Amino acid sequence: MDHSKIRVRFAPSPTGFLHIGGARTALFNWLFARHYGGTFVLRIEDTDQARNTAEATAAIYDGLRWMGIDCDEGPQAGGDYGPYVQSERNEIYERHLARLELAGHLFEENGAIRFRSPREHVIVDDVVCGRIDFDLTNPQTHPDMTIRRPDGSWIFHFVNVVDDVEMKISHVIRGEDHLSNTPKHIELYRALGAEPPRFAHIPLILNKDGSKMSKRDAGASVRTYIEEGFLPEAVRNYLCLLGWSPKDNREKIAVDEVVRLFELEKINRKNASFDLEKCIWLNGEYVRELSDARFHALALIALANAGIDTTKFPDDYVRAALETCKGKFKLFRELPAYCGFYFTDALTYQPEGAAKYFVAENKPRLQALREAFEALEMFDAPSVEAALKATAAQHGVKVGALVHPTRLAVTGSNAGPSLYHLLEILGKAKVLARMDQALAAISR
């Protein structure tokens, strides 16, 4: 077909947060459109007025924007086939309902309007799932479907098909849980005199134990990734691999290359297994490669979200402090705990560390190191390293015997950035004050 006429859509219902499965469906539609130079449409299917919320609609817009999935047409982008919100399309549905009624396809039952099935076999030639023969001849297993409720509200099947016809959708790419709806939809297309689109039902996302991923499962909401400090490009990369792969075992792949390689025929038929730890690992790989400017900007946001006000400190100090953290964590939510000691003097010592390192035998060693630090004229990383190693040698202990209690004294933690560099950044006065505080905490 003429690739310029390829039109796909993501049509979520605003009844909750943007699910990671919905985000993956949007992404696959977007990748397909971008691969062929087609059009990606966002449509809000808000026929379920009792469950729709403005917050859920905002979560859809925010989630797609965060992931870098831009819409060519939609409620915010506009376009020639709007409105793109179903609650604003009632006149269109009325017009198509009248056409079906005039052609004898409808009947009324208990106040509801129902579609009279032609009672036939419907063949679905699915790009992903293959050719499937649905037997719709038995009214017991395939009852005539309701398309309008007694209260006048529309059923999903009808408005979904009408919108796809009106918006000239060429390919419907959606979750495999919709496959059983497809023969009903094809009946409606035919009754409306419209050519059905090509269908591609993508595999479901399952938890590692094989259960279907529900709204309550870890990693189910796109909002979680935003709040936890994931990078959108990492989450997008991971979602690309849930049902599709570049066929060369690569796991880190730029979106531009995915667009170049993406084809519906390459989607795996098997259900995709969701592994949050793998997504976190992949995020860490992206964090390590961030430019200094973007890393710095995201780090400041993460610290501010944790209540740490970096504006009280000189820019050079903040920048140097954050530089010692790059490549040392996978999620930005981990950053405040990792480097918070740079921005507060109210240290609390990690209990396990204090029990292990703030012991009587370490007090004279730490006191000697404090004096060695005080005597230094140049308080930089090489100088403090030399002073620490010399003090350890004088006391006949390994370097680690001083490194660990010193780190705990100045940061409150057993782990963190390179000790000698963080000492240089904190500066002599702050380091000596913190060592005095630690020495006072060690009982004789």
Catalytic residues: 215
Q: What letters, b where the CB count within 10 A reaches 16 and e where it falls short, cover 136-154?
A: beeeeebeebbbbeeeeeb
* CA pair distance 189, 404, nearest whole angstrom: 71
Helices of type H across 315-350: 315-323, 335-339
Cα-based distances in Å from 308 to 152, 304, 391, 421 = 53, 5, 35, 21
In one-letter notation, the amino acid at residue 219 is: G
Burial of residue 209, with CB atoms counted within 10 A of its CB: 0-12 exposed, 13-18 middle, 19 or more buried: exposed
Is the preceding peptide bond at 364 cis, omega within 30 degrees of 0?
Answer: no
Calculated CA dihedral for residues 405, 406, 409, 410, nearest 10 degrees:
-150
Q: Is 2 helix (H, G, I), strand (E, B) or coil?
A: coil
* CA pair distance 197, 165, nearest whole angstrom: 9
* CA pair distance 147, 154, nearest whole angstrom: 6
Helices of type H across 69-221: 90-102, 156-166, 182-191
